[in-house]
Amino acid sequence: MKIIGIIGAMEEEVNILKDKMEIESVSQKASMEFYKGKLCGREVVIVRSGIGKVNAAICTQILVDDYEVSAVINTGVAGSLKNEINIGDIVLSNDAIQHDMDATGFGYEVGVIPRMEQSTFVAEEKLVAVAKEVCEEVNPDINTFVGRVVSGDQFISDREKKEWLVSTFKAYCTEMEGASIAQAAYLNNIPFLIIRAISDKADHSAEMDYSEFEAKAIEHTVKLVSELVKRI
């Protein structure tokens, strides 16, 4: 692979990676700062996209157009959708769906994007396999899961909505960018991987847990991403 694009929605999700990198250039576009350089010897561009699917999709397209990235990794935190996936654990995407895409009024299933061949975007198998191996090596005290990530422009902090996501999509975690990055990667024919550490359980306790556990969760994604870029 050539240059790898690394996207985090928030400063907290990319700052530690940026501090670890040898920066060669910084440029701005669409209110985003693109840091190009080497992370652990590997050519990367690291960028904070901003929160939500629109920001994340625009960011991915810029990475493709201006940096010709050969793959995109989305790193950050997420709410767990499974009892056995605990705060601090990591979920790697095997695929991703936008849970707030709803054209059911036209007879489509929820999550299906009308007039597109695909609405469930599948991560590259090899990327997932290497990431799982690396994650278990560098984060031995937590569990690493591979499963579906669902994304929407909603912070999920409500048990009913959580149960709906679980029963409708059989997803492992929920966040606000991954599936739009996956769609942009699919449209540009490049591989993607979503790496999410669990900061909360996407229920009534989500807001409190999120503030308390976000930093710890990010430590796990930083360890994984730093080592992963060396091996892909």
Q: What residues are annotated to the active site?
A: 13, 200
CA 86 – CA 157 distance, rounded (Å):
16
CB of 40 to ligand ADE, least distance (A): 26
Give me the torsion for CA of 83, 89, 90, 96, rounded to 10°: 20
Residues of this chain that bind ligand ADE (CB under 6 A): 77-79, 155-157, 174-176, 199-200, 202, 206, 210
Residue 174, helix vs strand vs coil: strand
Cβ-proximal residue to ligand ADE, closest one: 79
CB of 80 to ligand ADE, least distance (A): 8
Terminal Cα-to-Cα distance of the chain (whole angstroms) = 7
**Cβ closer to ligand ADE: 108 or 155?**
155
Q: Do residues 172 and 79 touch, judged by C-beta distance below 8 A?
A: no
For the chain, helix (H) and strand (E) counts, in that order, are 6, 10
Give me the torsion for CA of 62, 190, 76, 133, rounded to 10°: -150
**Cβ closer to ligand ADE: 57 or 77?**
77
CB of 120 to ligand ADE, least distance (A): 19
Inter-helix orientation angle 206-231/125-138, to 10°: 110
CB of 59 to ligand ADE, least distance (A): 17
**Cβ closer to ligand ADE: 64 or 98?**
98
**Cβ closer to ligand ADE: 38 or 161?**
161
Residue (of 147, 122, 7) closest to 64 by Cα position: 7
**Cβ closer to ligand ADE: 173 or 225?**
173
Dihedral angle sign, alpha carbons of residues 113, 116, 118, 121: negative
CB of 57 to ligand ADE, least distance (A): 16
